[in-house]
Amino acid sequence: MRITQKARLAALGVAFVYAACRAENPVLSVHEYAHPKVVRFLGPMPEPETNRFRPQVIHLGRKLFYEPKLSANGKVSCATCHEQSQGFSDGVALATTGVSGKPATRNSPALINLAWSNNGLFWDGGAKNLESQLLGPLHNPDEMGQAIGVSLDKLKADSTYRRAFEKAFPDQQVSITNLLQAIAQFVRTLVSFDSLYDRVLRQEAMLNDAEARGRNLFTGKCAVCHNGPLMTDNDYHNNGIDTTYPPIHDGQPMGRFRITRKDADIGKFRTPTLRNIAVTKPYMHDGRFATLEAVIEHYSSGIKRSTTLDGKLPAGGFHFSAQDKADLKEFLLTLTDENFLKRKEFHLD
């Protein structure tokens, strides 16, 4: 979706208010995590009525995101599978870093701009919002594998955490609701809108010839699903990676069907953002493609026919030329936001 000058002028600005938490790395008010010139394309950052942003809650949520006490073996945290340098993904197809050591059944998705995710989370949309999504990895015996009650007892036994919860929440309680709200608030601050491509949109930079050709190709072939400032339509599609989708592993290869039980949703998976795509490999819900070149080749020659294949995709692929493939990759590389990958407000040390 092309951003017009009229849209830029009509969009809302974003206020800057620094938080007062200085004991560790600075914690900013939620809007300061995003580049205001680009966030205005989308309007103010959404926040749930029941979980309004507060700097003290974000500060606590960041600590909890990196806290291994929330796992059964005391070694696994949210950050174990969501590393900042990799766009808050983990760089492997199916993680084995959970408490059981068994491979996960789906690839760890990147955590980018999820404040604007309004149509379900997980690859199949099995969670309505971040607060409910967090219950999955916390409980899962192959991920963090610890009962919430045990996690709460560990936090209550820590005087630093007790004080942090008291400062962050009106009820001053170390509770399941407050635990989930704190981590969810931090994850919503993981905002990325300062890549080379964003600077081009802000008329602060220009693409080179290869990148510009790649952008034109992307606009014609890819932007139907990977569109707008978010680089995703927040919807579910069958992109032709398989011809059949068997009901194994609790139906997870069946995609959106596992949730809706509608035949039309078999093989449909959530459209991931392409922001920071160069560092969030491997790709697809099962991490089957190790490189960007492999992904591009899939869309060029590997799209498989099935009854629910998205109508915008031709079975057999788009048949890109060698130049097309090279140019498309060059454009995708412009979506890397180096500041996001290093920003000190997103880590503890």
Q: 221-243 pLDDT, tens per residue? A: 999 999 999 999 999 999 999 99
Q: For position 31, what pLDDT does the model report? A: 56
Is the same domain home to 34 and 106?
Answer: yes
N- to C-terminal Cα separation, the chain = 38
Task: Kindly report the backbone phi and psi dihedral angles of residue 337, in degrees, each rounded to the nearest multiple of 5, phi listed first.
Answer: -110, 95
Interatomic CA distance for residues 58 and 32, integer angstroms: 12
Is the same domain home to 138 and 262?
Answer: no
CATH number for the domain including 246?
1.10.760.10
Q: Which two tokens stand for residue 170?
A: 């009106």
Is the same domain home to 220 and 105?
Answer: no
DSSP, res 255 = B
Is the same domain home to 100 and 114?
Answer: yes
Q: For position 15, what pLDDT does the model report? A: 25
Helices 55-65/159-168 angle, 10° precision: 150
Cβ–Cβ under 8 Å, residues 297 and 276: no
Is the same domain home to 212 and 321?
Answer: yes
Is the same domain home to 48 and 175?
Answer: yes
Is the same domain home to 93 and 41?
Answer: yes
Mean pLDDT for each 10-residue chunk of the chain (349 residues)? 36 26 45 63 84 93 98 97 98 96 95 95 96 95 96 98 97 97 96 93 94 98 95 97 90 92 97 98 97 98 97 97 98 97 90
pTM to 2 decimal places: 0.89
Domain span at residue 66 reads 5-192+341-346
- The predicted-structure confidence for 122-163, as pLDDT tens digits, reads as follows 999 999 999 999 999 999 999 999 999 999 999 999 999 999
In sequence order, what are the residues at sequence separation of 6 or more whose Cβ sits closer than 8 angstroms to the Cβ of residue 278? 292, 332, 333, 335, 336
Specify which residues 83 forms β-bridges with: 89
Is the same domain home to 14 and 158?
Answer: yes
Interatomic CA distance for residues 195 and 75, integer angstroms: 33
Q: For position 17, what pLDDT does the model report? A: 22
Give the helix/strand (H/E) hosting 330: helix 322-333
Structural domain count of the chain: 2
Q: Which two tokens stand for residue 154?
A: 């560990």
Is the same domain home to 122 and 27?
Answer: yes
Is the same domain home to 119 and 153?
Answer: yes
Interatomic CA distance for residues 234 and 227, integer angstroms: 9
Task: Kindly report the backbone phi and psi dihedral angles of residue 289, in degrees, each rounded to the nearest multiple of 5, phi listed first.
Answer: -105, 120
Q: For position 32, what pLDDT does the model report? A: 61
Task: Kindly report the backbone phi and psi dihedral angles of residue 111, in degrees, each rounded to the nearest multiple of 5, phi listed first.
Answer: -105, 90
In sequence order, what are the residues at sequence separation of 6 or more whose Cβ sits closer than 8 angstroms to the Cβ of residue 200? 206, 207, 334
Is the same domain home to 188 and 200?
Answer: no
How many other β-carbons are positioned within 10 Å of the β-carbon of residue 86? Answer: 18
Is the same domain home to 186 and 202?
Answer: no
Q: For position 319, what pLDDT does the model report? A: 98
